[in-house]
Amino acid sequence: MEPQIDLEKERKEILLAFKGLLRATKNRTRQDTAYIRKAFDVSVEAHKEMRRKSGEPYIYHPIAVARICAEEMGLGATSIACALLHDTVEDTHISLQDIEDLFGAKARRIIDGLTKIPDVFDQNTSIQAENFRKMILTISDDLRVVLIKLADRLHNMRTLSSMKPEQQVKIASETKFLYAPLAHRLGLYSIKTELEDLAMMYTETEIYNDIQSKLKSTKDVRNRFIRRFVHPIREALQKEGYHFEIKARTKSISSIWRKMQSKDLPFEEVFDLFAIRIILDSPIELEKADCWRVYSVVTDFYQPSPDRLRDWVSTPRANGYESLHTTVMSPQGKWVEVQIRTKRMDEVAEKGLAAHYRYKENQKDDSKFDRWIAEIRELLENPDVNAMDFVDEFKMNLFNDEIYVFTPKGDLRVLPVGATILDFAYDIHSAIGDKCIGAKVNNRLVPLSYQLHNGDQLEIITSPKQKPTEEWLRLVGTAKARQRIKSSLNDERKQIAMDGKEILERKFKQFNIRFTSENITVLERFYSMPSATDLYIRIAKGKIDLGKLRELENTGGVLQMERKIQTGKDRHELDVYPKINKKEDIIIIGEDFKNIQYQMARCCHPIPGDKVFGFITISEGIKIHRINCPNAEHLQSKMAYRCVKARWAGESLTERVAAIRLIGIDDVGIVNKITEVISNELNVNMKSIFFEANDGVFEGRIRVLVYDTEHLDTLMRKFEQVEGVKRVERWDNAEE
């Protein structure tokens, strides 16, 4: 029978733990207290049915994590509230939107970042792990995500004994590999040391226990030695009137073991098992001078080793660490490390840049917190490798040219900066890339051209009808994606060319022409095509008039170019000029003009209502251009002899393509509003639509079928009335 749980007793204990958290929160205002209290209430309610592996109520874990943030990292109310809430979105009914409604957008961003960092990581993938470590530091604009995650991991390690042995080893290995170096990188030295020691306790239990018992058995001798060593220094400093304390800090078990391994020493020969730390209470302007005076006192009694002096007071380490280290010889012939620093420096050493920031600003303000984040980021991105003084295996380069994104299941992918949705799709699988039509990024729909950001979570949307286009080559940054798109396009070109070849074979049969490579070469020249493949593709797309085959001389199924030469290059000029009276004649568009073929120019797409003129081309009859066509000036001035007047027939009601360009502010639903205008406008059919957004500005290009300029003007006026649209204009480069 299960033991009866005393819920009332538990409730009181939970409240006591919460009061302990509030006591540990420094400099809090009444608003801070209310904010933290609200987070506590929400968390208690959300986790009320949950228990940890040890059997205790789950809420103890968030309270403990929040307490580490407050007490051991010195973080403020936002972080403490987020630490209390850090598991609610993942494990309970509470959503990110609830968090934002109750605690604001900043808290939502932090919790979102925390939810994206998977809890257990596969130790076998060391390359992935290195990426993961870098990713944690770049995942969020807010570094509090990383700090709360470290606090969460520290509490999990402290309570690891209730887990199964295989879980213990997995979590401990991951801690040693990922989280301890992360704490080190952020200057959280006491947390880094504790994480390393706890990890070693589970991964190398025998060695850990052995070193621990040796430290215990030599403790009394060590303490006696320390008392004797410190005595003259203490007296001299008191005589000089310093306010100070002297601590003896025993080296952590994990760092003793590292020393034993790297120097191949037995425990007994590790000389720096402990360090003496002298902590001064000095005003900031006297810190440097006081540290050096104390150094002078120490070296009056003990001989220093000249090559073991480390001055991080004059030039602090890149991560903010300041201290003066020297190693001196004791009367017993033992080397002893002495660290001299002030109270401020000591707190920076223990709590990292959080303390550094607090001393500098001495105020709790989010904008200043952001400045601190910017400062850390600077250090992370330009690590002064010598000053960072890292153990080699923990060196971590934060590459600026990589971004870290997630699949919907939380798998991490590393892509180059500038990578788009398409790059990500091809990175998963080429078949997904080929069929990709867009994606949801952090649950928001984005186009293929969207550039990825650190920490984005992507869900690719595919369609069986989708296939790569030439345009895609501009939208990708990775070689893999580019290669795959080119290969798909080639496959497609081959398929289209096959279709074109079949069409041509049928046409040859119809005209009694033999299907030979010589005849194809004649056609390439006749239609001015660079290759047979291009010829076939244009035939398949209906861009070549095969009726013109009649113009070629066909001798027993073999084509000749003779007829082409006879009806040569200036055929239209020869045919057309005698028939046209330039002063009198007007082409009435929509009616027959002296049996002469004419068509709309593709450079400006005239539509009824536009002022137009005719231009006699060399080989394609007469082309109708708009008077304000980009080419009109050149044609009218340099080749006026080929221009002829033209106007529209009054009753002409043929639909023609016109292109419109819209520019405005990018906003959700803007495309919807624009397409709505088109669908509500009578007798307007949309032929194509293209929208591109860049830095909050969108550009849209729409091709519509309209009857005349009046029809088009009405439509353009309606576009101008759409909120967000700033400019509407006719767009000339409208290729059919």
- Whether the Cβ atoms of residue 312 and residue 324 lie closer than 8 Å to each other: yes
> In the predicted model, is pLDDT for residue 393 greater than 50?
no
> In the predicted model, is pLDDT for residue 718 greater than 50?
yes
pLDDT recorded at residue 344: 86
The average pLDDT across 430-436 equals 87
Angle at 59 between CA 133 and CA 4, to 5 degrees: 135
> In the predicted model, is pLDDT for residue 1 greater than 50?
no
Percent of the chain with pLDDT over 70: 82
Level-2 CATH architecture, domain 656-730:
2-Layer Sandwich (3.30)
| Cα Rg, the chain, nearest whole Å | 39
Angstrom distances, CA of residue 526 to CA of 345, 500, 504, 556, 568: 85, 17, 14, 19, 11
In which residue are the tokens 């076939």 written? 536
In which band, very low, low, confident or very high, does the pLDDT at 4 lie, cut at 50, 70 and 90? low
DSSP type of residue 591: S
Assess if CATH 3.90.228.20 describes domain 213-362: no
| CA dihedral angle for residue 509, residue 514, residue 517, residue 521, rounded to 10 degrees | -80
Q: Where in the chain is the domain with CATH 3.30.460.10?
A: 213-362
Q: Which fold has domain 402-477?
A: Ubiquitin-like (UB roll) (3.10.20)
> In the predicted model, is pLDDT for residue 702 greater than 50?
yes
pLDDT recorded at residue 654: 66
Contacts with 203 (C-beta within 8 Å, 6 or more apart), sequence order: 169, 172, 173, 176
Q: Where are the beta strands (DSSP E) in 95-234?
A: none
| Domain 7-208: homologous superfamily in CATH | Hypothetical protein af1432 (1.10.3210.10)
- Whether the Cβ atoms of residue 407 and residue 428 lie closer than 8 Å to each other: yes
> In the predicted model, is pLDDT for residue 225 greater than 50?
yes
Q: Where in the chain is the domain with CATH 1.10.3210.10?
A: 7-208
**Residues known to be catalytic:** 90-91
Which of residues 550 and 672 earns the better pLDDT score?
A: 672
- Whether the Cβ atoms of residue 372 and residue 311 lie closer than 8 Å to each other: no
